[in-house]
Structures are given as C-alpha cells and as structure tokens.
Amino acid sequence: MSRKILTVVAVAKNEAHNIPRWHESVKEADHIVVLCDPYSTDGTTELFQSYPDVHVEVVEVKPWRWDVARNKA
C-alpha cells in the first residue's frame, strides 16, 4: 500500500496572531502552501516566510475577497 500525502493550502490576510498555533496544527503535513495578501499590515507574510516548511505565495486580490483568494489557491 502506498503512503498517502497530505497537502495543506491556506489563504491569509492579517493573521499574524494566529500563525504560531495554526502552524503547530499543520506542521506534520507533507506540503504547506499559504497564499498571502500583499497588503497585510501585521507582518503576516513575513511571519509565514520565517517557517522553512511553508511555501508562501503572495497573491493580490483587490478588492480583497476571501472567496476569490480561495479560488486562486
């Protein structure tokens, strides 16, 4: 039987306060991808980039809409 692979994909804007707890809950995944809004004002993108196991994509969605960002993910 082959090993299953788990990929976590998330969308974030101004979520720096939640990132450490979120990362703790997903760190066992094989792949972690986060789409960040470039206009976050709390350092969300930079904090995600500080985790070596997280692949960060900066995606502009203007005006910001969670549904559009999710679809880009």
Residue 64: pLDDT band (50, 70, 90) is confident
Instruction: Judge whether 23 and 54 are in contact, CB under 8 Å.
Output: yes
Q: E strands within the chain?
A: 7-12, 31-36, 54-58
Instruction: Judge whether 44 and 14 are in contact, CB under 8 Å.
Output: yes
pLDDT in tens, 7-35: 999 999 999 999 999 999 999 999 999 99
The residue assigned the tokens 């306060």 is: 17
* pLDDT for residue 1 is more than 80: no
For the chain, give the mean pLDDT: 92
pTM of the model: 0.86
Q: Calculate what percentage of the chain has a pLDDT beyond 90.
A: 67
Q: Where are the domains of the chain?
A: 7-72
